[in-house]
C-alpha cells in the first residue's frame, strides 16, 4: 500500500496512522527496510493512542517478528514545522533484548512522524541507561543504598520494562543479586521531571496513615529513595494477585476493595490539587475532540453522549471532598489474603468520592465485557454490592454524582478502546451502558439517600470490618 502522506489533511493523516495496513506499510518502508536480521513485521495492532503534548498525537503499535514474539514501537505525529527529537542517533543498529526492541529512532518526513523504541525516548533519556546498562544501574543503586561500607562490591542486575508511556513515564522491575546470593527486587518509576521525588514523599505520608488506620491491611508500596540523577523513584517490591472475575471469592474481594477505597478517601494530605466535575468534563471533551479527528464516524453518538453528560453535571456539587486516587481500578490493586496493596499514586488529588467509585465500576464493566460474553446480568449486581460495602465503611455516595462520574468514565474508556485491536465491541457496549445510565440513572443503579444517611458516619474500625 502506498504510504505517501504528502498533501493529505491532518485528520486524514491521523486516521491512516491508525489503519493497520497503512501503518504496516510505513514500518516496512521506513523502519524495517534495512533490518534483514530482524525480519519483517506481521499482525500489526494498535495497542494505545492518546493526545500528546504540544498538539502531538501518540500511538503504540505492536507486531510480531519472525521469531514469533510481539514487540512495540511508538509513533508521534508532529504538527508541521516541529522538529523531531531523539536521544540517540538514527543510525544505531536495532537489537532485540528479551521482550523489548531497542535502538529504533526514525523520522518519516512525509508523515511528520517519529517512530522510536523506549530506549530512544528524547524526554525520558535516562531510560536508555536503565535498559542498556544494567551494571551501571546496579552500581548506582548499590552506592546509594549501601550501609555496610562495602562500596567495592557491585551486585548483578536485571531490568525489565513493565509499563511505558512515551514521553511521560516508565515503570521497571529491577532485580539485584547481592554478594550473599540474595535477590533484592525493586519497583522503579521514572519521569520527565522531579515528580518522582514528590511521589516518594507522598507514598511515605500515605503509608504511615494507612498503617495507623488499618494495621497493614491496606497499604501502598514502601518508598525507598529517590535517585535525582536518573529521576527515578524506587519502591520495595510488593507481591500479590490481581482481582479476578473468575476467582470463586470474587464477591469477597470486591467487598474488601470497596472498604479499602473508603479508607483511602479518609487520608489527610495538605498538598493536593482539587479535581472538580469541570475538570472531569474537560478530560472527556479533550478525548471527544481527538475522536472527532481520528474517528469521525462516532461523532453523532459521542456528541449526544456529551450533551447528556453535561446535563448530568448540572445536578451535582463538588461536596463531600476526599483524598482521591483518581486511577482506582482492578489492575491497580494486589490482593494477598485480606491485605490489599494500592498501586500508582501519580494522580492523587482532592475531589468528589464518586470520581473513584465511578472509575472503578466502569473498569469493572470493561473487565466483564472483555472476558465474558455478556455483562447485563452481573454488572449491576456487582455495582450494588460495591456501593453497599463502601457505605458500610462510612463512605458517602450520591445518586447524581455517581451518575455523572460513572457516565463520564464509561464514555472516556470507550473512546480509549474504540480503535484498539478488537476494541470496537467493547466501546459499543460501554457507550450503550452510558446512554442508558444517563437517560435513566435509576434503571441501573439506585442509591437510597435515607439509607445512605443512616450509614454515613459509621466509626467501626477497619480491622473489625475486615477480619
In the chain (467 residues long), the average pLDDT of successive 10-residue segments reads 55 91 89 72 90 80 83 88 72 71 87 90 86 67 60 70 89 82 87 94 96 95 92 92 89 96 95 93 93 94 96 82 95 94 96 96 94 70 94 90 96 95 90 94 66 43 40
Q: In the CATH hierarchy, which fold is given to the domain comprising 126-236?
A: Phosphorylase Kinase; domain 1 (3.30.200)
- The reported pLDDT for the residue numbered 41 is 83
Q: What is the DSSP letter of 30?
A: I
Domain ranges of the chain: 10-120, 126-236, 250-466
- The reported pLDDT for the residue numbered 447 is 67
| Domain 250-466 grouped into CATH 3.30.420.40 | no
- The reported pLDDT for the residue numbered 148 is 57
- The reported pLDDT for the residue numbered 67 is 64
Beta carbons within 8 Å of 211's beta carbon, 6+ residues apart: 219
Amino acid at each position: 500500500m502506498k504510504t505517501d502522506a504528502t498533501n493529505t489533511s491532518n485528520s486524514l493523516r491521523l486516521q491512516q496512522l491508525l489503519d493497520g495496513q497503512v501503518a504496516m506499510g510505513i514500518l516496512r518502508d521506513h523502519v524495517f527496510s534495512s533490518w534483514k536480521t530482524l525480519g519483517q513485521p506481521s499482525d500489526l495492532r494498535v495497542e494505545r493512542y492518546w493526545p500528546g503534548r504540544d498538539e502531538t498525537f501518540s500511538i503504540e503499535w505492536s507486531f510480531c517478528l519472525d521469531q514469533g514474539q510481539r514487540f512495540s514501537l511508538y509513533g508521534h505525529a508532529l504538527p508541521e514545522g516541529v522538529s523531531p527529537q531523539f536521544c540517540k542517533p538514527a543510525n544505531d543498529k536495532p537489537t532485540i533484548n528479551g521482550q523489548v526492541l531497542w535502538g529504533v529512532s526514525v523520522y518519516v518526513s512525509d508523515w511528520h512522524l517519529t517512530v522510536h523504541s523506549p530506549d530512544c525516548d528524547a524526554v525520558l533519556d535516562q531510560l536508555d541507561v536503565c535498559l542498556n546498562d544494567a551494571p551501571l544501574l546496579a552500581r548506582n543503586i548499590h552506592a546509594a543504598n549501601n550501609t555496610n561500607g562495602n562500596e567495592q562490591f557491585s551486585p548483578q542486575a536485571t531490568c525489565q520494562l513493565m509499563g511505558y508511556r512515551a514521553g511521560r513515564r516508565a515503570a521497571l522491575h529491577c532485580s539485584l543479586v547481592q554478594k550473599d546470593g540474595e535477590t533484592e527486587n525493586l519497583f522503579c518509576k521514572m519521569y520527565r521531571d522531579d515528580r518522582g521525588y514528590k511521589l516518594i514523599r507522598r507514598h511515605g505520608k500515605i503509608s504511615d496513615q494507612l498503617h495507623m488506620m488499618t494495621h497493614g491491611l491496606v497499604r501502598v508500596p514502601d518508598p525507598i529513595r529517590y535517585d535525582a540523577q536518573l529521576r527515578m523513584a524506587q519502591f520495595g517490591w510488593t507481591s500479590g494477585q490481581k482481582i479476578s472475575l473468575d476467582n470463586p471469592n470474587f464477591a469477597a474481594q470486591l467487598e474488601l476493595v470497596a472498604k479499602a477505597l473508603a479508607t483511602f478517601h479518609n487520608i489527610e494530605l495538605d498538598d493536593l490539587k482539587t479535581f472538580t466535575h469541570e475538570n472531569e468534563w474537560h478530560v472527556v471533551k479533550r478525548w471527544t475532540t481527538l475522536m472527532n479527528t481520528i474517528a469521525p464516524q462516532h461523532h453523532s453518538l459521542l456528541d449526544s453522549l456529551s450533551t447528556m453528560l453535561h446535563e448530568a453535571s448540572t445536578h451535582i456539587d463538588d461536596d463531600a471532598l476526599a483524598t482521591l486516587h483518581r486511577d482506582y481500578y482492578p489492575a491497580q490493586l494486589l490482593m494477598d489474603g485480606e491485605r490489599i496493596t494500592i498501586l500508582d499514586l501519580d494522580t492523587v488529588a482532592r475531589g468528589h468520592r464518586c470520581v473513584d467509585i465511578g472509575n472503578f465500576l466502569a473498569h469493572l464493566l470493561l473487565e466483564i465485557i472483555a472476558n465474558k460474553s455478556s455483562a447485563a446480568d452481573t454488572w449491576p449486581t456487582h455495582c450494588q454490592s460495591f456501593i453497599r460495602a463502601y457505605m458500610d465503611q462510612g463512605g458517602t455516595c450520591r445518586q447524581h454524582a455517581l451518575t455523572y462520574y460513572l457516565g463520564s468514565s464509561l464514555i472516556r474508556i470507550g473512546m480509549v478502546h474504540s480503535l484498539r485491536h478488537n476494541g470496537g465491541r467493547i466501546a459499543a457496549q460501554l457507550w450503550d451502558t452510558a446512554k442508558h445510565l444517563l437517560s435513566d440513572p435509576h434503571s441501573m443503579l439506585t442509591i437510597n439517600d435515607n439509607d445512605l444517611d443512616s450509614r454515613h458516619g459509621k466509626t467501626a474500625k477497619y480491622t473489625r470490618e475486615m477480619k
